[in-house]
Structure 1
Amino acid sequence: MRSRIAAAAFALMAAVVEPAAAQNQPGVTSAEIRIGQTMPYSGPVSAFGILGKGEVAYFKMVNDRGGINGRKVNLISLDDGYVPPKTVEQTRRLVESDEVSFIFSSMGTAHNTAISKYLQSKKVPQLFVASGASKFGDPAQFPLAIMGVMAPFRNEARMYARYALEQKPDATFAVLAQNDDFGRDYLAGLKDVLGERFDHAVTVATYEATDPTIDSQIVRLKASGANVLVIAATPKFAAQAIRKTSEISWTPMRFLTNVSVWISSVMEPAGLDAGVGIISTAYVKDPLDPAWKDDPGVKGWRDYMAKYVPDGDIRDSNFVNGYNNGMVLEHVLKAAGDDLSRDNIMEQALSIKDLELPMLLPGIKVNTGPGDHLPVEQVQFMRFTGKQWERFGDVRSTK
């Protein structure tokens, strides 16, 4: 009897002294940190699903090294087909059934917008959102959201406008834009720079993510007489736009959103020669760039790819983005220690100071703060040669 009482007392004591983070914290036990995301593994932008595949692989690597502070990270990555109502359904499942601690790197502007109020009502952080929409950097509107390790779309558009005007002071702009917040952010960035000139200097053609083609939009934009084209489109439509401008012999100065710069899924389908001279921006190292041949950071990334994503296309920069996002989250969770409450995780995510990542370009650092939900605000211009992207100029602030 005494031994049974002693055993029961010992068990009770063990429960009491178990780390506080493992008690009453959704998604957290003494052995696991459970997090969730949605990705378009199917649907019109399934190419973006590579990001989720890379992030799942990253945390497999982290777990093989022993996890974070003794806990394994369980990233539950669900398909939403790039359909916002499905994103809401899957996110509810993650929060209410899987009981994740927080949402990490879910893909899409409209999709993260659709789930934000629900997550706020549940006090669930929305960390490192896979969208460059500038609104996710507004803590008044999205207090629990932080943008991922990428340049904001609006800031990127400002840079394109300034560069175009440097080269062509009388520039007129044609813009192919997705008909949602993603496309509207590029228009807002152009307007920031052009001001009152915007209405008569910019012609816009929009498309829906479900459209089969944007050929007619490109023909219409050429008819405007614009000498600058900004392609604010996801990979499928970006490839179509590049190919169509070549087919109709339209040769404006061309800018391409940096979410669609992949050689394998955009430049090759468009035709490599058709993309010669296109300008975009970079904030990550291109593993194919000879400049990084002996770079330790790139070597580490290649080792990760070889072991954890052996079938992955190393030309797809979303594997680099997934690696960077995973590394930033690992930094945050390490900083949180054993206090894995949602409040402390959010506090640590907003306390990143001059964090250098091995796959970010030199000089670009991750910084956040209570009023700064935009981790990356520096980029470098690059131009497509027909074989690869070549960087030019200095690293610039996107502000």
Structure 2
Amino acid sequence: MRIKAIRTIGMTAALLATLTACGGRGEEAGSVGQGDCKGQQTTGITDTSIKLGGSYPLSGPASAYAEIPKGAKAYFDYINAEQGGIDGRKVEYLVRDDGYQPPKTVEEVRRLVEQDQVFAVFQTLGTATSSAVWDYLNQRKVPQIFVATGANKFGADPAKNPWTIGWQPSYHTEATAYAQYVKKLKADATVSVLYQNDDFGKDLLNTFTAGIAGSGVKVIAEQSYEVTDPTVDAQVRNLANSKADVFLNFSTPKFALQALAADVRNIDWNPKHVLAQVSNTSTNMKPVGFQNVQGVVSAAFLKDPGDPRWTADNGMQTFKTKVAQYSPGADTGNGHLMTGWAMAESFHKTMAAAKCPTREGLRDAMRSIDNVAVDLMLPGVSMKTTATDGFPLEAIGMMTFTGDHWTVSDEVISTAGK
């Protein structure tokens, strides 16, 4: 899916630089920048089209996430064909491969903004990668909407970074749920932690540690890894020596799978395994053998496509039917694919609520989402934001792997306002 850069020279390059520098307030946008919206940015949007761009790890150590843009594209193809797009504007969705490398993210996002002239960057995936471009996008006043990471910083200060917003429950919400779970599981539990050595892993670890403060639960072993490491087998062996009651696996899919497999091989250690939400799709766990991951615990805010509980669910039926139609061969049992679909629907509803079909209109709409539900979210989970609350989703449910799918509890843990 890599697309070679288009090189422009001479007068063409100079003209392009001039257009992008002025924010795209041109007459070519038709009526989208007229009336009360006059003078606002209309780059990438016309009366009949809207151009979005995203940067994802289609290759490299986090390539399991390549299913996310595939799910988003299936959704956009569906609404383009059957609903005329978003308010009559068909979505053009450009996807770039950054390999989960921040310098590459900078390169690809600049191409999307300055060469492709997208209306908005609909998703950059990863904490470090998204962090590498958010200053640039805020300076350019380009919406960076529904960043695919739960890092707390993307919702903590809306006034400082008004053009950037996350989507999934923050790592603060997720780790708070794990802390509550472990305290209920065993009042004096000992805990070992494997975590990615970046904001993703540290957010989860630090929030979990804060969540157990004052209780009898203690973290007795910690091991980190780098995304460039070939394996985490050594780290898991070290954690096994702690004989902790609980193993927190705060890893992205490649390393989470390695840690699950290593845990199975350590027959002298049988901890309660808690898996980070970003890696808990059934597809990721299948190679370890479903018989080996029974009882693993994780968190969720979306329905599991493999759970029979949702077989007759309208949202799940639409997702599976339309993906089969617009992305033949795609695995509708893959949770990452389904996440991409849900993210795209979230964008659809947010953009449709914008008072102006402009970048400023989208910015304001993503800061005023009022309890908007998306079909694939768990009951009791919906999106809500304000000018001072930049966390769209602040509720999560705990679930346990049973048979060949996740079984979610009816209780939803909320950190809204916290």
Question: Normalised by the size of structure 1, how large is the TM-score?
Answer: 0.91
Deviations 1:229-249 (A, max 9, x none): 100101111111111111112
Q: Name the SS for the 1:34 alignment partner.
A: strand
> Does the 8 A contact of 1:56 with 1:77 survive in 2?
no
Greater Rg, structure 1 or structure 2? 1
Does 2:229 align with 1:211?
Answer: yes
Query: 1:195 is paired with a residue of what secondary structure?
Result: coil
Compared CA separation, residues 200 and 382, structure 1 to 2 (3 A): closer
Q: Which amino acid aligns with 1:128?
A: F
1:271, distance to aligned residue in structure 2 (A): 2.1
* Amino acid corresponding to residue 272 of structure 2 in structure 1: M
2:124 partner SS: coil
Secondary structure of the corresponding residue to residue 21 of structure 1 = coil
Tell me the SS of whatever aligns to 2:33: helix
* 1:119-142 CA-partner distances (Å, limit 9, x unpaired): 111111110000011111112553
Q: Is the 8 A contact 2:384 2:392 kept in 1?
A: yes
Match of 1:124 among 142, 166, 173: 142
Partner of 1:261: 280
- Is 1:252–2:271 an aligned residue pair? yes
Contact in 2 for aligned 1:21/1:28 (Cα 8 Å)? no
- Give, as a single letter, the amino acid of the residue that structure 1 aligns with 2:152: S
CA deviation string 1:77-135 (max 9, x = no partner): 11111111000000011111111111112111100000011111111111000001111
Counterpart check, 1:95 vs 2:113: yes
Residue 144 in 1 paired to residue 163 in 2?
Answer: yes
User: 5 Å matches for 1:154-303?
Assistant: 154-195=172-213, 201-249=219-267, 250-264=269-283, 266-303=284-321
Distance 1:16 1:87, change over 3 A: closer
Residues 191 and 198 in structure 1, CA contact (< 8 A), matched pair in contact too: no
Amino acid at match of 1:334: A
- Residue ranges of structure 1 left out of the alignment (5+ in a row): 1-14
- In the TM superposition, structure 1's runs of 4+ consecutive aligned residues that sit over 4 Å from their partners are 196-200
Query: 1:256 corresponds to which letter in structure 2?
Result: L
Q: Describe the shift of the 1:244–1:35 C-alpha distance in structure 2 as closer, same or farther (beyond 3 A).
A: same
Shift of 1:370: 0.9
| Contact 2:315–2:375 (8 Å) recurs in 1 | yes
Measured at CA, do residues 268 and 253 of structure 1 come closer, stay the same or move farther in structure 2, by a change above 3 Å? same
Q: 2:122–2:145: 8 Å Cα contact kept in structure 1? A: yes
Q: Tell me how far 1:295 sits from its aligned partner.
A: 1.4
For 1:33 and 1:56, the matched residues in 2 are separated by 14
Between stretches 304-313 and 213-222, larger displacement belongs to 304-313
Q: Within the alignment, does 1:348 sit opposite 2:365 as a pair?
A: yes
Q: After superposition, what is the alpha-carbon deviation per residue over 1:234-287, rounded to whole angstroms, capped at 9, x for unaligned? A: 1111111111111112211111011111122x2111222221111011211112
The answer as to whether partners of 2:397 and 2:411 remain within 8 angstroms in 1 is: yes
Look up the equivalent residue of 1:125 and give its one-letter code: P
Paired residue type of 2:53: G
Per-residue deviation at 1:16?
10
Residue in 1 that maps onto 2:5: none
Cα separation, partners in 2 of 1:244 and 1:351, compared to 1, 3 Å: same
Tell me whether 385-394 or 74-83 shows the greater mean CA deviation: 385-394
Task: Check whether the contact 2:32–2:358 (CA below 8 A) recurs between aligned residues.
Answer: no
CA contact 1:40–1:49 (8 Å) conserved in 2: yes
3-state DSSP of counterpart to 1:205 = strand
Of 365-374 and 189-198, deviating more is 189-198
Amino acid at match of 1:59: F
**Residue in structure 2 matching 1:49, options 66, 75, 95:** 66
Partners in 2 of 1:393 and 1:20 — Cα distance?
Answer: 44
Query: What one-letter code is carried by the residue in structure 2 that aligns with 1:252?
Result: P
What RMSD over aligned residues (CA atoms) do the two structures have, in Å? Answer: 2.0
Determine the C-alpha separation between the residues in 2 that align with 1:332 and 1:104: 12
Between 1:108-117 and 1:369-378, the stretch displaced more is 369-378
SS at match of 1:164: helix
Structure 2 residue identity aligned to 1:127: I
**Of Structure 1 and Structure 2, which has the larger fraction of its residues in helix?**
1
Work out whether 1:314 is the aligned partner of 2:332.
Answer: yes
- Quick one: structure 1 residues 320 and 157, their matched pair in 2 at CA, closer, same or farther if it must change by over 3 Å? same
Distance in 1, matches of 2:162 and 2:309, equals: 39
Q: Report what 1:358 is aligned to.
A: 375
Which digits, 9 at most, give the CA deviation of each residue in 1:163-210, with x for residues without a partner?
A: 111121111211110111110111121122133779963421011112
Partner residue of 1:29? 46
Q: TM-score, normalising length from structure 2?
A: 0.87
Distance 1:188 1:201 in 2: 11
Contact 2:162 2:363 survives alignment (8 Å): no
Deviates more, 1:368-377 or 1:385-394: 385-394
Which residues of structure 2 form unaligned runs of 5+? 1-26
TM-superposed CA distance for 1:154, in Å, is: 2.2
Among all aligned residue pairs of Structure 1 and Structure 2, give the percentage whose two residues are the same amino acid.
Answer: 38
Distance 1:34 1:243 in 2: 42
CA displacement 1:299-324 (0-9 Å, x = unmatched):
11111111112211122111221111
Equivalent pair of 1:157/1:190 in contact (CA under 8 Å) = yes
